[in-house]
């Protein structure tokens, strides 16, 4: 049940990200809520579920974007793998883990995206891209991670059956 809910929400969020959320800006940047949702899902539900949700969200973003097909999927799957590994370690219960994962995964996601664009023949100005977009977006995503993580944690509590104790 949780996988179907995650897939459905990832599908809807990817459409919303392409159509609406990308138009809402903070200091010229918009948060990548799809990435944050995938990261939170991988942290709370595990590596396998995170990869499946990341694959769905990336596919929808690729269908709706003008970038070469597969870039968003590859970057999101790698970022969800990174988050899933973060959820497996001894720091899983640390309150700071979602924020660190959001910052690091945003950097990885965007650098991979830019690298794939450059390998595809597009000109990438690394200094400007990193300084004006990637690093500020990582900070913005770290801020928005608290909202997304809280929502996914609330969903997890609602979807998981409570154990019966005697």
Render pLDDT for 30-40 as a digit per residue (tens, 0 to 9). Answer: 899 999 999 99
* Beta carbons within 8 Å of 40's beta carbon, 6+ residues apart: 83, 98, 145, 148, 149, 151, 152, 153
Q: Which domains does the chain have, with CATH numbers?
A: 2-159 (1.10.1760.20)
DSSP per residue, 83-146: HHHHHHSTTTT-TTHHHHHHHHHHHHHHHHHHHHHHHTT----HHHHIIIIIHHHHHHHHHHHH
Question: Does residue 77 surpass a pLDDT of 70?
Answer: yes
pLDDT class of 90 with cuts at 50, 70, 90: very low
pTM (2 d.p.): 0.87
């Amino acid at each position: 049940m949780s996988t179907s809910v995650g897939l459905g929400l990832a599908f809807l969020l990817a459409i919303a990200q392409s159509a609406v959320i990308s138009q809402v800006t903070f200091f010229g940047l918009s948060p990548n809520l799809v990435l944050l949702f995938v990261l939170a899902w991988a942290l709370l539900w595990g590596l396998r579920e995170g990869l499946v949700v990341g694959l769905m969200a990336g596919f929808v973003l690729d269908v709706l974007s003008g970038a070469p097909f597969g870039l968003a999927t590859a970057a999101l799957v790698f970022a969800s793998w990174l988050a899933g590994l973060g959820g497996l370690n001894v720091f899983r219960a640390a309150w700071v883990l979602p924020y660190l994962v959001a910052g690091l995964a945003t950097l990885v996601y965007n650098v991979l995206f830019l690298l794939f664009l450059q390998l595809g023949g597009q000109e990438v100005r690394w200094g400007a891209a990193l300084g004006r977009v990637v690093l500020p977006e990582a900070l913005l995503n770290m801020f928005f991670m608290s909202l997304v993580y809280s929502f996914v944690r609330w969903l997890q509590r609602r979807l998981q059956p409570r154990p019966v104790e005697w």
